[in-house]
Structure 1
């Protein structure tokens, strides 16, 4: 039997209190100046570091300034322009298709609904949630990236494995007013302390409320696997 919802809500409240204090300035690290740049940056960030995306987009956004620019781009040239981004050939195709769809269906503007955003090439709920939250000030869900997946499972908040199911589980126990910041806090903590392979449990503000702590045995209880 899983952990009762009331217990998970209590744990989440404690986690939020501690992480807000630990990372008071936690926010999105991608650089952008408008909604189109935000959309492009988030598409490029899939399975790629934000640092690398920011390096590439510093020049990309000078060359491609509108949906028309992406729609009219030569796909091979666009792939070269984002070289260094993971799956750059595929993502070049996504960006060109996004430009075409924005022109054909949205007047060249980035739409403001989940359904319209997820209809764009290369855009899933994670990307759409980021664009809605930071581009349109609409909080419709919780952004579930690799840090959120890993830490929410290690903490035992959820045992779900897919991003969609993890998001649904988190939305049940995280207060709606904290949905946006919850992601930023877990990303900050994942980068600084609760890393994928060698989490620093001895310097973790959540250690005493984490069932996966290495200081209490050598088993990752959230995933059922021994730490490496």
Structure 2
């Protein structure tokens, strides 16, 4: 795929959705961090249902620490891997209080040092909370990048590096959200909805589905 096509694809995404947002519900960088941590191997819908009950009770490092591991489990037990996630949340809260004055650090190295926070989570927080031009590659973005030919790569790191190289600066902040939403609702895993796709004529997927 050439850069002319890529720019046209991103332009269409922007025209269709000028201000894309995460579907996770949050009010502060800390709430976003916890929600993204919870979203690993879980849906945004399930996370939002849990945090709608959790955040009114505790939405700060100090508040979640006061609940303790068992208290947090009570609110997130409907989410996959909730035992490990509850423990990581407590550990993360302690580090935020001890090392970062209770604030989410705007620093990729500090973020990935938090328990349960990997490169993808750090990129989401930096992009969504702080406006960094990072591109977090999840399963949706990995699939879309490879299937369409936009930024093929053998693993998520290769796709991320390719996207950072080929996406023009003006699109970088929003690219992450556009690709996730496209993968979640149109370019879905089992049977992509090619017939109703905004970029069907630009996509290089060979086995397009007429729907």
TM normalised by structure 1 equals: 0.85
2:32 is the alignment partner of 1:38: yes
**1:202 and 2:195 are equivalent in the alignment:** yes
Q: Please name the residue that 1:162 is paired with.
A: 155
2:21 is the counterpart of 1:19: no
Aligned residue pairs total: 210
Q: Is the 8 A contact 2:194 2:208 kept in 1?
A: yes
Report the Cα distance in structure 2 between the residues aligned to 1:153 and 1:175, rounded to whole angstroms: 18
Say which SS state the counterpart of residue 91 (structure 2) adopts. Answer: helix
Distance 1:213 1:203 in 2: 16
**8 A Cα contact 2:127 2:135, kept in partner:** no
Secondary structure of the structure 2 residue equivalent to 1:202: helix
Q: What pairs with 1:1-228 in structure 2 (closer than 5 Å)?
A: 7-139=1-133, 141-215=134-208
Deviation at 1:70, TM superposition (A): 2.5
How many Å apart are 1:25 and its aligned residue? 4.5
Kept in 1, the 8 Å contact 2:47–2:79? The answer is yes
Gaps of 5+ in 1: 1-6, 217-228
TM-score (normalizing by structure 2): 0.91
User: For 2:120 and 2:208, how far apart are their aligned partners in 1?
Assistant: 33
Residues 41 and 57, structure 1, Cα contact 8 Å, conserved in 2: yes
After superposing on structure 2, the runs of 4+ consecutive aligned residues of structure 1 that deviate more than 6 Å are none
User: For the aligned residues, what is the CA RMSD?
Assistant: 1.9
Kindly indicate whether the alpha-carbon contact (under 8 Å) linking 2:19 and 2:174 is maintained by their aligned counterparts in 1: no
Distance apart, 1:177 and its partner CA:
2.5
How many angstroms does 1:129 deviate by?
1.5
